[in-house]
Structure 1
Amino acid sequence: MSATAQPLPAASLLQLIWLASPALPVGGFSYSEGLEAGVDRAGVATESIAADWLSDQLHLSLARGDLAVIARAIPAWRSGELDKVKVLNDWVLQTRETSELRLQAEQMGRSLVEWLRNHRSVSDTHIDACAKLPPTYPVAYSLAASALTASIADCLAAYAFGWAENMVQAALKSVPLGQSAGQRILSRLAAEIPAAIAEAMALAEHERQAFSPMLAILSSQHETQYSRLFRS
């Protein structure tokens, strides 16, 4: 953000913080996105390894996939380009490489749409259009964010930080780690999020990707893991 950037109005800032909150009732806390399988099978056993794992996931997966989708979907919702929204939503569904990752995207998307029906910040027309997709979480989040006066970069920052908080909590429970270790990892991720946002916003349509083969393998193994805390 440049030194001359205007601050968000307080109401929009609070709404953005609300969207990023792990307390938002969409179920994000119940997923580890393959991390739990990484602990069980890939040696994610220390603070340092967990931090590296999440940093890689931020840059190799989130930035090139979900964040890039949101960067395109927010202006599409704002301009009423529903056909483009559907294409983006279909891309998310088609690139979720395992059953549990797809179910996560769908469940969190449905839950956020239901939250929006009660929140009344988005038009009923757009909510109904989103519900019919059916929505994935990045696309439903884009709809929620499109109603705010926040910039796309600010909306991506909120999404990425919400993801980081959920993933750090997953690391605390599954590695396991202490609270201080979790805060150090979160500090590292927060420092790296601006670069991930810049990468996501710079990607052309044909450059967006979701290619994380080891993560997909671990997620597949997690589906039948003998004992687990998380749904993915």
Structure 2
Amino acid sequence: MLTSTNEPELRPASISAADSAALYRLLTWLSPAFPIGGFSYSSGIEWAVEAGDIGDAAGLRGWLATMLTNGSGFCDAAFLAHAYRAVERDDRTSLREVAEFAAAFVPSRERQLETTAQGRAFVEIARSAWNSAGLDEAVAQCETIVYPVAVGLVGALHGVPLAALLYGFLHAVTSNWISAGSRLVPLGQTDSQRVLAALEPVVAATADRALFASLDDIGGATFRADLASLHHETQYTRLFRS
């Protein structure tokens, strides 16, 4: 097929080396294959299924929408954003305060284990494979490092854009919750993807809200989910660690 020599040649837009590196690391760090052990935690969903609060795809979707909007989804995303900005400004005092606040914000022993174990693993694996200047100094400011703070500070040090990091983090957390729910309800793969698709606008709205939230804005009202994480500690049979 002949084309006119007078027409400009159209080429796909290229991505800069810096953007390419940031995207590659974002996709890697928040992939289910990144070995921080997220698959072993359900954030109380296991007890919610046993108690009858979640029994089908619609029940799981509603439960997770509430967790994203009014629970740990929003709170953790806001902590991530504040940790990111503190590292970006090299504000060690603020980073220390955010890390302390985030560590104190979890409602149960098992949720504390979940977020601290994943936070430590995230930092250690990132250090081993993608070490960066300033990482040890930033981590040293955090007496206890929880998962969202770990993602925020590592993402900032590697120049991953904050908005993209927030969206990726919430997508990863939501996907892990759905994976747990799909095994517990159980749900088929298609229903699981329908739940993830239905939560897309909720994830987007939560990320946007967290991007501009102050520390005073952080708070939750997911009492049933908090109780689920407490009851799970004494649940007789368990597949998950939380």
Scaled by the length of structure 1, the TM-score of the pair is: 0.91
Query: Is 1:188 the equivalent of 2:165?
Result: no
Amino-acid identity (%): 28
- After superposition, the CA RMSD in angstroms is 1.8
Task: Indicate yes or no: 2:135 matched with 1:126.
Answer: yes
The DSSP-based 3-state class of the residue aligned with 2:77 is helix
The correspondence for 2:87, drawn from 72, 77, 90, is 77
For each residue in 1:176-216, what CA deviation from the matched residue of structure 2 results, as whole angstroms up to 9, or x when unmatched?
11000001011112232111111112322211114422211
Is the 1:122–1:143 contact (alpha carbons within 8 Å) kept by the matching residues of 2? Answer: no
Residues 162-181 of structure 1 aligned to structure 2 (within 5 Å): 162-181=172-191
Q: How many residues are matched?
A: 226
Deviation at 1:53, TM superposition (A): 0.8
Runs of 4+ in 1 over 3 A off after TM superposition: none
Deviation at 1:82, TM superposition (A): 1.6
Which structure has the larger Rg over C-alpha atoms?
2
Q: Secondary structure at the match of 1:9?
A: helix
- The equivalent of 2:122 in structure 1 is 112
* TM-score where L is the length of structure 2: 0.87
**Hey, what's the Cα distance between the residues in 2 that align with 1:121 and 1:29?**
25
- The CA deviation string for residues 49-69 of structure 1, in whole angstroms up to 9 with x for no partner, is 111111111111134310111
Q: Which residue number in structure 1 is paired with residue 7 of structure 2?
A: none
What are the equivalent positions in structure 2 for 1:80-229 lying under 5 Å apart? 80-123=90-133, 125-130=134-139, 133-229=143-239
Q: Deviations over 1:37-91 (max 9, x none)?
A: 1101143111111111111111111343101111111111122112111111111
2:31/2:172 contact within 8 Å kept: yes
Task: Name the stretch that deviates more: 100-109 or 205-214.
Answer: 205-214
Contact preservation (8 Å) 2:107, 2:226 = yes
Partner of 2:75: 65
Contact 2:138 2:153 in 1 (8 A): no
Shift of 1:220: 0.9
Contact 2:49/2:184 (8 A) holds in 1: yes
Distance 2:78 2:86 in 1: 13
SS at match of 1:25: coil
